[in-house]
């Protein structure tokens, strides 16, 4: 009997000792914070029952609140609900495993509950998207550097994560089938993605220790780059992982996606799921199948140009999610309403999309070299269409409903872009704050836009162009938003060194804009142009709002000297030019030819003023938008002569003599009147000089070109006349 009692006691001790070895290996992470409750997620080292203790003291001298208790699931995760808390109060918490609290100091973490609903107490939160996980390549210096900075800022109450917590879809590439390059085809991949994010060796753990996190996924967390509803998979494994492994707010439709909302003081946040129910991006390009088999390019000038024309059923979020969002904004009693969109909202990004499409097949530009790699102009357009600009019907639905309801103080928070952008609403319709590069390399997409004369972010952004922040700072970054009661909201952007990149303050009382016109390029550099000779460039006027925009006139600021002279508009799908004023309907665009004639050698500059009925463009005044044009005047280096013939086809002949030094003749034929450009490029595809840039009638032309100070080497001359595009090689020997 004594032996049996001793054995029973020994087994009990061994059993208890076995349980005591169970620990929390990932997390804990706090989310779904309200004024009186929170949810806490953690993973244990073995099967166990998990709970948490809370206290207002780090010594846990007095316990508060009520925490549920739950066994961990088969992946050893559990999410525990905590209730009975007080508003705007800091709490310390520690795990309780199998009924025994873990007392190690490293396990004690803290968070603050939300203020009471409607409270105007000022508060701040951090936001951003796009980060590497703990499995990032060795030597990647910026991995996680922003998170200790966020954690050390005692003004920040919570982190709002807009998706791309690492890039798990890049870990299981199938070279035989790109559609299978999706991590959510195997639940183990989904689980491992969360383990990487929650690893205590990854710097984000410093943030988890001191504040709650709200998170909604973007493409790489959902399945793959630029994913859509067709990537959900039959078992919705990403959604299953999100529900089990992240402490989220209640999901509106837990079987279809992760959209949700929450209140925090005098603000309400609407977190969108822009992946689970969206249409495929390529549906916006009706001829994409023909383009894919025969794309227009420098080497294929007779290929098919890609065209953007999305149908009415092309949606970035499903109709039921849109109805939920609109009703939520209409009925919200919060002073500030934040739309949390993982993707860029700014509809003016369509300017970049349309300009890219016009550059298809242009030597020296297509393909484009950007920080992410080398892409054709059409591929760049498709990538840009991943944002809301590629879904104009969704923009119309949202903007129209909010405008008609008179809802004020709606601000969009966005990411995905790997860069910073801020707009007052002049271009983005709603004021928009974008932080898209927590520790990913900067895409420099805003900088690339501005290099091409596309200015669609009018406040803090990352660009080489000075103004509204630290120019040429392309470091990883995060945004900090401070809500000053009902007075205003300020966004500050900090890089991963703690340097302030830029700030903007949005006052109370803003309403969504419905009328917006985007000029692209907003000015143009014609390069080298012969003095006294006309050079023509096309400027696109794009209606990116939901109401008709009128361009009444274009004024020239120069009365003498070099001048940029606008011609009549040519509306899309219209064969004859339109006189001023021109009404551009929603989604419409018009082409404005601008002729520049330098009158002296050296730099020639002129400015055009576009007079419109867009009240919010923040140009020189209400409805006034400036555009700067410039050219480098050069002495005549070529002479053009025309033969009075009627050719039957376009033709570009080989120059003669070839090789040459220093003069050669280029001959070409036009069967009809066309806008003609003849350009010379060096062997690297860089523009050397524009020999012809004017409208010419049918005939055969000879251009006598003097190479002047050019060095010996291989050059290419390219003729573009309407849809005809051809290039030939010439050799200069000195």
Residues 6+ apart with CB under 8 A from 386: 219, 226, 281, 343, 416
674-698 confidence digits (pLDDT tens): 989 998 988 777 788 888 888 888 9
Residues 6+ apart with CB under 8 A from 545: 347, 399, 429, 513, 514, 515, 516, 517, 586, 614
Contact predicate 630/605, CB 8 Å: yes
Which pLDDT band holds residue 13 (cuts at 50, 70, 90)?
very low
Report CA-CA distances (Å) from 38 to 110, 218, 395, 682. Answer: 12, 24, 34, 64
Q: b/e for 468-479, b at 16 or more Cβ within 10 A?
A: bbbbebbbbbbb
Residue 428 has pLDDT above 80, yes or no: yes
Backbone dihedral angles phi then psi of residue 498, each to the nearest 5 degrees = 90, 5
Distance CA 192, CA 38 (A): 25
Q: b/e for 388-405, b at 16 or more Cβ within 10 A?
A: bbbbbbbbbbbbbbbbee
pLDDT of residue 580: 84
pLDDT of residue 177: 52
pLDDT of residue 349: 97
650-676 confidence digits (pLDDT tens): 999 999 999 998 889 999 999 999 989
Residue 14 has pLDDT above 70, yes or no: no
Contact predicate 625/613, CB 8 Å: no
pLDDT of residue 619: 54
Average pLDDT for 388-399: 98
pLDDT of residue 722: 86
Distance CA 461, CA 123 (A): 23
Distance CA 325, CA 649 (A): 56
Residues 6+ apart with CB under 8 A from 679: 363, 687, 688, 689, 690, 691, 717, 718, 720
Q: C-alpha dihedral over 721, 722, 726, 731, to 10 degrees?
A: 30
Q: 734: helix, coil or strand?
A: coil
Widest Cα–Cα separation across the chain? 123
Q: How far is CA 374 from the centre of its chain?
A: 18
Most confidently modeled of 136-150, 273-287, 527-541? Answer: 273-287
Q: b/e for 572-610, b at 16 or more Cβ within 10 A?
A: eeeeeeeeeebebebbbbbbbbbbbbbeeeeebbbbbbb
Residue 18 has pLDDT above 50, yes or no: no
Residue 15 has pLDDT above 50, yes or no: no
Distance CA 408, CA 403 (A): 9
Q: Which two tokens stand for residue 203?
A: 């710097």
Residue 421 has pLDDT above 60, yes or no: yes
Q: Which two tokens stand for residue 549?
A: 């925009």
Distance CA 163, CA 195 (A): 16
Mean pLDDT taken over the chain: 89
Q: Which two tokens stand for residue 324?
A: 């939920």
Which pLDDT band holds residue 533 (cuts at 50, 70, 90)?
confident
Distance CA 284, CA 621 (A): 35
Q: How far is CA 575 from the centre of its chain?
A: 34
Which pLDDT band holds residue 178 (cuts at 50, 70, 90)?
low
pLDDT of residue 466: 84
| Number of helices followed by number of strands (H, E) in the chain | 12, 41
Q: 605: helix, coil or strand?
A: strand
Report CA-CA distances (Å) from 485 to 103, 409, 568. Answer: 39, 12, 50
pLDDT of residue 8: 43
Q: C-alpha dihedral over 701, 706, 712, 717, to 10 degrees?
A: -20
Q: Write down the residue that tokens 């439709």 correspond to.
A: 253
Higher pLDDT pick, 402 / 372: 402
Residue (of 492, 338, 520) closest to 430 by Cα position: 338
pLDDT of residue 504: 97
pLDDT of residue 204: 93
pLDDT of residue 17: 41
188-244 confidence digits (pLDDT tens): 989 988 998 999 988 999 999 999 999 999 999 999 889 999 999 888 999 999 999
268-319 confidence digits (pLDDT tens): 999 999 999 999 999 999 999 999 999 998 888 889 999 999 999 999 999 9
Cis peptide before 233, with omega less than 30 degrees from 0?
no
Q: Is 105 exposed, middle or buried (0-12, 13-18, 19+ CB in 10 A)?
A: exposed
Residues 6+ apart with CB under 8 A from 574: none
Residue 7 has pLDDT above 70, yes or no: no
Provide the 10 A C-beta neighbour count for residue 509. Answer: 9
Report CA-CA distances (Å) from 159 to 111, 156, 201, 557. Answer: 11, 8, 19, 49
Residue 170 is classified by DSSP as G
Residues 6+ apart with CB under 8 A from 451: 464
Distance CA 565, CA 558 (A): 10
Higher pLDDT pick, 592 / 498: 498
Phi-psi region at 637: left, alpha or beta (left = phi > 0; alpha = psi -120 to 50): alpha
Q: How far is CA 369 from the centre of its chain?
A: 18
Provide the 10 A C-beta neighbour count for residue 532. Answer: 11
Distance CA 447, CA 439 (A): 18
pLDDT of residue 1: 40
429-485 confidence digits (pLDDT tens): 999 999 999 988 888 999 989 988 899 999 999 999 888 887 889 999 999 999 999
Phi-psi region at 130: left, alpha or beta (left = phi > 0; alpha = psi -120 to 50): left
pLDDT of residue 233: 84
pLDDT of residue 621: 64
HEC-encoded secondary structure of 135-149: CCCCCCCCCCCHHHH
pLDDT of residue 116: 97
Residue (of 425, 445, 448) closest to 437 by Cα position: 445
pLDDT of residue 576: 65
Residue 559 has pLDDT above 80, yes or no: no
Residue 134 has pLDDT above 80, yes or no: no
Which pLDDT band holds residue 599 (cuts at 50, 70, 90)?
confident
Predicted structure pTM score:
0.87
Residue 708 has pLDDT above 80, yes or no: no
Distance CA 606, CA 625 (A): 14
pLDDT of residue 138: 54
Contact predicate 79/92, CB 8 Å: no
Contact predicate 407/330, CB 8 Å: yes
Contact predicate 146/476, CB 8 Å: yes
């Amino acid at each position: 009997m004594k032996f049996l009692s001793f054995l029973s006691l020994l087994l009990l001790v061994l059993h208890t000792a076995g349980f005591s070895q169970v620990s929390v290996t990932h997390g804990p992470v706090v989310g779904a914070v309200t004024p009186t409750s929170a949810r806490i997620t953690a993973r244990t080292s073995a099967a166990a029952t998990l709970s948490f203790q809370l206290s207002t003291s780090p010594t846990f001298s007095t316990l508060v609140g009520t925490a549920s208790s739950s066994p961990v699931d088969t992946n050893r995760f559990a999410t525990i609900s905590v209730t009975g808390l007080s508003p705007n109060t800091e709490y310390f918490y520690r795990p309780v495993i199998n009924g025994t609290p873990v007392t190690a100091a490293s396990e004690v973490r803290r968070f603050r509950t939300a203020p009471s609903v409607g409270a105007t107490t000022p508060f701040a939160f951090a936001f951003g998207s796009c980060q590497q996980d703990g499995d990032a390549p060795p030597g990647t210096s910026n991995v996680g550097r922003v998170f200790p900075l966020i954690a050390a800022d005692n003004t920040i109450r919570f982190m709002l994560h807009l998706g791309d917590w690492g890039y798990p879809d890049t870990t299981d590439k199938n070279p035989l089938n790109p559609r299978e390059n999706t991590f959510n085809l195997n639940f183990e991949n989904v689980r491992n993605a969360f383990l990487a994010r929650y690893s205590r060796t990854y710097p984000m753990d410093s943030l988890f220790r001191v504040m709650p996190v709200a998170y909604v996924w973007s493409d790489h967390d959902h399945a793959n780059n630029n994913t859509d509803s067709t990537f959900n998979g039959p078992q919705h494994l990403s959604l299953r992982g999100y529900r089990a492994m992240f402490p989220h707010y209640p999901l509106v439709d837990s079987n279809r996606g992760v959209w949700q909302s929450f209140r925090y003081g005098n603000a309400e946040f609407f977190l969108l799921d822009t992946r689970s129910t969206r249409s495929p991006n390529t549906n916006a390009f009706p001829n994409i199948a023909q383009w894919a088999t025969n794309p227009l390019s420098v080497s294929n000038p007779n290929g098919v140009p890609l065209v953007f024309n999305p149908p009415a059923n092309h949606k970035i979020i499903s109709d039921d999610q849109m109805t939920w969002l609109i009703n939520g904004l209409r009925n919200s009693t919060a002073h500030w309403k934040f739309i949390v969109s993982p993707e860029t909202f700014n509809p003016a990004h369509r300017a970049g999309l349309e300009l890219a499409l016009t550059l298809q097949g242009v030597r020296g530009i297509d393909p484009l070299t950007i920080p992410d790699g080398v892409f054709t102009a059409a591929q760049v357009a498709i990538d840009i269409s991943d944002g809301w600009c590629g879904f104009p019907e969704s923009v119309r639905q949202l903007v129209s409903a909010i405008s008609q309801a008179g809802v004020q103080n709606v601000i969009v928070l966005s990411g995905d872009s790997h860069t910073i952008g801020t707009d007052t609403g002049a271009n983005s319709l709603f004021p928009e704050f974008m932080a898209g590069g927590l520790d990913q390399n900067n895409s420099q997409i805003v900088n690339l836009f501005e290099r091409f004369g596309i200015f669609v972010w009018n406040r803090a952004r990352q660009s080489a162009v000075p103004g509204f922040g630290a120019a040429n700072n392309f470091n990883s970054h995060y945004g900090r938003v401070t809500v000053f009661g009902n007075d205003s909201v300020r966004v500050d952007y900090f890089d991963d060194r703690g340097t302030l990149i830029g700030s903007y303050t949005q006052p109370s009382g803003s309403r969504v804009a419905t009328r917006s016109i985007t000029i692209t390029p907003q000015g143009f550099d014609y390069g080298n142009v012969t003095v006294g000779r006309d050079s023509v460039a096309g400027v696109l006027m794009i209606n990116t709002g939901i109401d008709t925009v009128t361009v009444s006139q274009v004024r020239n600021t120069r009365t003498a000297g070099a001048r940029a002279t606008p011609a009549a508009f040519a509306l899309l799908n219209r064969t004859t030019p339109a006189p001023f004023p021109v009404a551009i309907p929603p989604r419409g665009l018009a082409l404005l030819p601008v002729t520049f004639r330098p009158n002296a050698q050296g730099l020639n500059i002129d400015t055009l003023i576009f007079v419109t009925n867009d009240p919010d463009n923040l140009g020189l005044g209400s409805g006034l938008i400036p555009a700067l044009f410039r050219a480098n005047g050069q002495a005549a280096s070529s002479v053009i002569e025309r033969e009075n013939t009627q050719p039957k086809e376009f033709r570009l002949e080989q120059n003669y003599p070839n090789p040459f030094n220093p003069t050669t003749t280029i001959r070409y034929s036009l069967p009809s009147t066309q806008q003609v450009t003849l350009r010379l490029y060096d062997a690297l595809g860089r523009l050397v000089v524009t020999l012809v840039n004017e409208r010419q009638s049918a005939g055969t032309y000879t251009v006598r070109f003097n190479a002047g100070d050019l060095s010996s080497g291989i050059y290419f001359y390219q003729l573009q006349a309407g849809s005809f595009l051809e290039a030939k090689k010439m050799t200069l020997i000195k």
